[in-house]
Amino acid sequence: MKFHLKNCLLALLVSLCSLFWSVLVFADTDLFMAEGLVKKIDVENRKITIKHGEIKNLEMPGMTMVFRLQESVSLDKLQAGDKVRFHVEKMQGAFVITDLQESP
Ligand SMILES: [Cu+2]
């Protein structure tokens, strides 16, 4: 009986943790979108050169630089000269674009 109670408490703790985690993830959906101008696209290596404005979530001022593109980000319709809005995350020392949309 004591063992059973321990398992119950553990299960409760796990559920509380996952609940807390999903709240955190949900809060994180309000992602900062940087503005930029596409300079160059390297489809083969999934890299893109963007002249970008301030990236607040990375505390980065405006500059021109190369980003990596996450698998989920499509390159199909993109071309140099396009204005874009995008979200960048720092992953394992690299700047990775996780979301990218053409600016209207
Ligand atoms: Cu930069």
If you write DSSP's letter for every residue of 9-40 in order, what string do you get?
HHHHHHHHHHHHHHHHHHHTTS---EEEEEEE
What is the domain extent for residue 61?
34-102
Same domain, residue pair 21 and 43: no
Q: How many domains does the chain have?
A: 2
Mean pLDDT for the stretch of residues 91-102: 95
Q: What is the mean pLDDT of residues 37-43?
A: 97
HSE-CB at 14 with a 13 A cutoff on CA atoms is 6
Q: How much distance in Å is there from the Cα of 100 to the middle of ligand 1?
A: 15
42-53-74 Cα angle (round to 5)? 35
Residues 23 and 55 in one domain: no
Whether residues 41 and 91 fall in one domain: yes
Q: How far is the CA of 46 from the centre of ligand 1 (A)?
A: 17
Distance 63 CA to ligand 1 centre (A): 5
| In a shared domain, residues 18 and 44 | no
Over residues 3-27, the pLDDT tens digits come to: 677 776 677 667 666 666 656 555 5
Residues 46, 21 share a domain: no
Q: Residue 88 belongs to a domain with what CATH number?
A: 2.40.50.320
50 and 92 belong to one structural domain: yes
Q: Is the pLDDT confidence value at 35 over 60?
A: yes
Mean pLDDT of 53-81: 95
Is pTM beyond 0.85? Reply is no
Q: Are residues 44 and 77 in the same domain?
A: yes
